[in-house]
Each structure stands twice: as structure tokens, then as C-alpha cells.
A and B are shown apart, each in its own frame.
Chain A
Amino acid sequence: MTYLAAQADSFGDLWHNLADLTVSGLTQGSIYALIALGYTLVYGVLQLINFAHSEVFLVGTFGSIVVWGWLGYASGDGGGVPGLGMVILLLAVGVIVAALISGGTAVLIERVAYRPLRRKNAPRLIFLITAIGASVAIAEFVGVLTDRKPVGVPALVSPTTQWQIDPRDIGLDIQPVNITNLQIGIVLSAVLMWFALDSFLNRTKFGLGIRSVAQNEDTAALMGVNKDRVIMLTFLLGGLAAGVAAVLYNLKIGTVTFNIGFLLGLKAFTAAVLGGIGNLRGALLGGLLLGLAENWGAGFFGSEWMNAVAFVVLIVILMFRPTGLLGDSLGRARA
């Protein structure tokens, strides 16, 4: 009886905080979705889990912090929040730099760790090992540079409440939730970035090349597509999305450590699989759903089980629908 009562209690907790959990779930999910885009693109083209993609993201977080530092905005300056124009400039510079650094790192990883193996037609497991090597090397490199200490992010955006939603107005017994400008910005940027990538894939010549290689690389080669260049472009695009995710993560969390990549990457990959790997829409959907599932699960079971919920969701999805929610097809033009 007490067990049932406890369950009812935790269900009540979940219900009470539903609005709050949903908002934070969507915010977190947007970041997963952006990282998941990189996994899904590379997987769609090469059928390869780019294990080092989490470190592509990591490099972006530190890149933007460094560049903000050069521009005179470091964490703990106490100078207060800069003016609106300055903030926009700083964010733009941060996003561009992070995207370029992440994209560059992704291309570098492809060159150093994957291309020589592709030439040798090595089994996929070997790619996974070099990816692990790249991942460890990059994370540790950042760790050595930062002395393995957490690095603070300058307070560029102070979260202020934009909207307050109170479900009690319509008779639901749910706590009201404050939605901040930061949360809105994160979700919007993620959707925008996804939209940009999706259009790029579906409407440009380069996107056509990527889709054709994903569908059938030999035929694509016969049609005059340069496979190596397409693969490089794929890594670059994934890296750009990871760079944007990195800046959003910086603004949301406020500190970065050298070892954040591993778990975040794993969850982003989970999101990609959840939506259907190789499928950009799936990555967005999977990311948002994973964020929601995690936060709702945390509300129900307690926050210490947050990650466990994510992986249980993954296992259940794979058991009943191994191709993910939207199916895995970059090649079949549904990307």
C-alpha cells in the first residue's frame, strides 16, 4: 500500500511540475537534436558511428569561450551584462567561431582517423576504435590545456522571464512555468539550424551529392560525384551544427569541463537512433523527445535516474521499432 502511495505521490510530483519539466526538456532536447544532426548525417552517408563527434562539440564550447575572452568578456569579470548590440555581436562571433572550429575539427578527424582506413576498406569496428582514439585524444588535449578544471562562461545573456504560462487558468492543477528568453532562443536556434541544414540537403547541388552518396555510392561516383569531397562536406555540416549546439550549451549551463562530451554525445546519438538514424527530421524529433522523456522521467523517478531513463527509452525503441520513429533514410530523399 505504501508502495502504491509512493507511486501516486511521484506521479503527483510529475503532474505538478509538468509544465516546467516540459520547457526544460525541450530546451535540453534542442541541444541533443543539434548534436544528433552530426551523428545522423555521417551515419547516413558512411554507416559509421562517429564516436568522436562529441569532441567536435566540446571543441566548439571551448572555442567560443576563448574568443569571447579575447574580446574582453571572460567569466567572473563582474562587468555586468553588455549592451544589446554588443551581445548580438558577441553571440554572432561566438557562433561563427564555434561552428568553424567544430567543423574544422570534424573534417580533421575525417582526414586523420577515417580516410586512411576507408582506403584500406577496413571493417567498421576499426573505424570505431580510431574514433575512440580521436575522442580520447581531443578530450584529453582540452583537459591538459584547461588543467582539467571547469571553465566558466561569461554571462552574456541573463535569463529573464518572457512569458509566464499558468495552466491553473484553464483548470489544470499544474504549477505555473516561467519561460526565459534564453530557453526560447535555444529552441528557436535549434529549429532554425535544422531547417537550414534540411534545406541545404534538399535544395542545393551539394545536398543532392550527399543524398546520392548516401543512397548508393558507386552509382553516385559513376554520375560524377566526388565521394571524398561529399564525405568531407558531410563532416563539415555536422561540425557546424555541433558548433551552434556548443554555444547554446555554453549559454544554458554556464560552465564547461573537458569531459562533458562523452555522455552528451551518447545521448545525442541515442536521440539520432530514436528518431531514425540517417534522417534529419528524425534527429530533431528524437532530440526533443529524448529531452522530454528524460525530464519527465526525472520528475517521476527522481533526477538521479535521468540518464537511465534515456537509455531505457533507447532500448525499448530499438526492441519494438529498430529503425527509429521516422525510419532511417537519408538516401531516399526524405532526409
Chain B
Amino acid sequence: MSAPEKVRPATFVSKVKAADAKRAAAVSGFRDRWSDLPKIWRILAAVAGIALLFGLPNIAIPGIPFRTDEIPNGTSFSFVLSSIAIYVLVAIGLNVVVGMAGLLDLGYIGFYAVGAYTVAIFGSPNSIVATEYPWLVCVPIAIALTMVSGVILGMPTLRLRGDYLAIVTLGFGEIIRLIAVNSAVTNGQRGIPVIPAPDKGLVEETFFPVGDFRSHYWLALVLIIIVVFAVRRLEHSRVGRSWLAIREDEDAASLMGVEAFKFKLWAFAIGAAIGGLSGALFASRTGFINSDGFNLLLSVMFVAAIVLGGQGNILGVTLGTVLVFYLPERFRFLEDKRELVFGVALIVIMVLRPQGLWPSRRRARELKDRKLEAKEAIVSG
């Protein structure tokens, strides 16, 4: 590595880098100004933002066709919105594991599947047990079962090194999928139909009509707000600080008295529980699930989404998820080239902005340090 650093003319790359730095500065400037605002303004702005999100399925702006049903062959906008909301919930759960505790979980779809199948099996009259519990009873069962499966997976594997953990979780996700495909309980590709809507048996008329997914979207939105609030509280608690310490240096954290294994297991369990909750939402939204909905590539996409958005930062993670799952719906005209474009975009964005589009401040600083270290190594090497 003795090559001296070349002085380059203002090439395309250096221009992009300069623009990149400017944008980063703008974002952090925006952040400072945001945190300088009086609290009441911040609350009002947040409320306005949330109100906008709630109104989104009913809004159409002429001239800006952001709705996916305004394009030819587009999907119902409320359906897309509810999908994205469910995926955002998944991403928030995965962010606890990957972004906060720094554990690379590539088989997160397994928990999502466990949640979805729990609701299907206990709620549907067509399943093998046919208990037909209402949705509200199924969800706690789903969350409990996914937490248990998180602990079962975590117990033996969390002692492994990072990369091995990634591959073991990938294997776990695939095993769950194979069970879904082959087991009589989950009924493979034929799947389980007639999964109850959230209000089944509670009220006379249903708030979740067939073919209109707005209520599902709103429900998911409410749950997202609750979960985000809870996760933020966790992040700034002793648990969150332990995660941070483990993420940055597990050995040092252990020496300082952080019980690394215990907190990693907690991260797994909490992340799994959120995954289970989103799986439950997914099952009742579609009303029918089969083994096709839980392939590993989706799991990998989730990780891609949160890293793209900026791991560790809940807003960044949300942004990444929305981009990864909304843009393909909006740009249907690319047809079968959508994934190709997505793959190329993923490389380009991550090479230009390894910290993600909207990273947490702490993460951005960590990355800057690493970059400086690399430069120093080149100069001194």
C-alpha cells in the first residue's frame, strides 16, 4: 500500500463527493435547527406530519402522480400503503437487532412468518386447530411465540462471530420457510385462507371492508407510532446504551461489566416480537397466507432497506424501507427491469454514501472516523 495519494483534477467523482459533503452538512444543519426549535413547535410539526400520513390514502395532488393507482396497471394505493406500513414496522424491529445491537440477522423473515402463521392457525376456521380466536387474542400469542423463537434461535447462535451469525440466521429463515412449505399445519402452497380481520367478533359492522385497505394502513400506522415510541425509550435507556456499547466493541463492553450475551438476547427477542407483530398484521391484511410470501430474498431486502436508509436512525430506516418497497410499485413501467435497476442503485448509493441516506448522528461520526483512519493508513503506509 505504498502508493502515494494522487492529486486528482475535479473529476465527476470528486464533484459528487463535494456535493455529498454539502448535502451532509445541510442535513446536520437542518438537524441543529430542528433541535433548536421550541418544543411546542416540534410537537406541532410532528403532529402535522402524522396527520398527513393518516390522510395520505385520501390525498391526490393533480400533476404529481405519487399514487400507485394513477399509473397504468397500478396497484391499489391503500394496498401499497398498508404493505409499506407493515414493512416499516418490520424494519423498525430489524433495526433494533441490526442497527442498535449490531447483530446481523439475515433470517428476520422467519419471525415475520412465525407471527403471520400464528394468527392464521389460531384465527382461521380452515386451519388444523380451527380455534377461531379473535385477532386481538391471536396477536399476543403471536408476539409471545416469536419472542420464544427469537430466544431459541439466539441462545445457541449469539455466541458466534458476526458473519457466522449472519449465515446461521439465514439458515434459520430458510428452515422456517421449508417448514411452511412442507408441514401439514401450515398447508404449504395452498396456504391458510379466511384469516380474521382485527375487529372480527368485536363489533357489528366491520371496519375492515374487503378490498379497501385503508383501515389496515391506519392500524399499522398507529402500531408504528406506539412501537417507535417504545423503541426510542429503550434506545435511551440502560438497555439501549448497552446495545451501543456492544455494537462498538463487545470485548470492551464486557470488560466494563455489560452482560453482552444477555443484552444481545434481549435485542433478538424484542426485534423478533416486533417482527411477529408485523407478521400478524400482514396475515390479517391479506386474509390468506401461503409459503410463497416468506422467501429469503425478502429477508435480505429488509436488511438492504435499513442499511440503505441509515441504520440506527428510525427515520432513516423508514425512509429506506419506503424507497425499497414503494419505488418498485410506482415505477411499474420498468416492468421486469425493476429489480435490475434496484440492484445497481443499491451498489451506487452504498458506494457513494456508505453511512446510508439518513444515518444516525453517532453512526455518521463512527464512519467518518473509519474513513480518516483509512486515509492515515495510506499516508503512513
**A-side interface residues toward B, CB under 8 Å?**
43, 47, 49, 112-113, 116-117, 119-126, 128-130, 132-141, 143-144, 148, 218, 221, 227, 262, 266, 269-270, 273, 304-305, 307-308, 310-312, 314-315, 318-319, 322
Contact = CB atoms under 8 A, between A and B. Distances in A.
Interface string B227-249: 00000000000000000000000
Interface stretch (B59-67, B161-169, B212-220, B261-269): B161-169
Contacts of A137: 340, 342-344, 346-347
Q: Which 6 A-B residue pairings sit nearest by Cβ, starting from the closest?
A: A137-B343, A133-B346, A121-B374, A311-B171, A136-B343, A140-B340
B179 A308 contact: yes
B367 interface: yes
Contacts of A314: 167-168, 171
B125 to A, nearest CB: 27
5 contacts: A120-B370, A122-B354, A132-B343, A136-B339, A308-B179
Interface in B147-178: 156-157, 159-164, 166-168, 170-172, 174-175, 178
A58 to B, nearest CB: 13
A112 B179 contact: no
A283 to B, nearest CB: 15
Contacts of B304: 129, 132-133
A140 B339 contact: yes
A270 B174 CA distance: 13
A221 B1 contact: yes
Q: How large is the interface on B (under 10, 10 to 19, 20 to 34, 35 or more residues)?
A: 35 or more
Given A116-B351, A273-B164, A304-B182, A312 B374 contact: no
For A136, A138, A266, A319, which residue has the most chain B Cβ atoms within 10 angstroms?
A136
B381 interface: yes
A35 B192 CA distance: 38
B350 interface: yes
B11 interface: no
Interface in B338-381: 339-340, 342-347, 350-351, 354, 367, 370-371, 373-374, 377, 381
Contact of B157 (A47, A140, A305, A318): A318
B24 interface: no
Interface stretch (B40-48, B195-203, B295-303): B295-303
A308 B178 CA distance: 7
B339 A315 contact: no
Nearest to A225: B1
Interface in B179-205: 179, 181-182
Contact of A135 (B1, B161, B336, B343): B343
B305 to A, nearest CB: 10
For B163, B337, B344, B351, which residue has the most chain A Cβ atoms within 10 angstroms?
B351
Contact of A126 (B170, B181, B350, B377): B350
B359 to A, nearest CB: 11
B120 interface: no
B374 A120 contact: yes
Contacts of B90: none
B119 interface: no
B100 interface: no
B343 A49 contact: no
B346 A129 contact: yes
Contacts of B367: 122-123
B165 to A, nearest CB: 9
Interface in B2-18: 2
Contacts of B160: 318, 322
B274 interface: no
Contacts of B98: 125
B221 interface: no
B307 interface: yes
A113 B345 CA distance: 11
Given A121-B373, A126-B350, A322-B164, A304 B181 contact: yes
Interface in B311-352: 311, 336-337, 339-340, 342-347, 350-351
Contacts of A121: 370-371, 373-374, 377
B114 to A, nearest CB: 16
B308 interface: yes
Given A143-B336, A315-B157, A124 B371 contact: no
A235 to B, nearest CB: 16
Given A132-B304, A221-B2, A270-B167, A120 B346 contact: no
B104 to A, nearest CB: 6
A221 B296 CA distance: 39
B308 A129 contact: yes
B336 A132 contact: no
Contacts of B347: 112-113, 130, 133-134, 137
B340 A318 contact: no
Given A112-B347, A136-B343, A311 B175 contact: yes
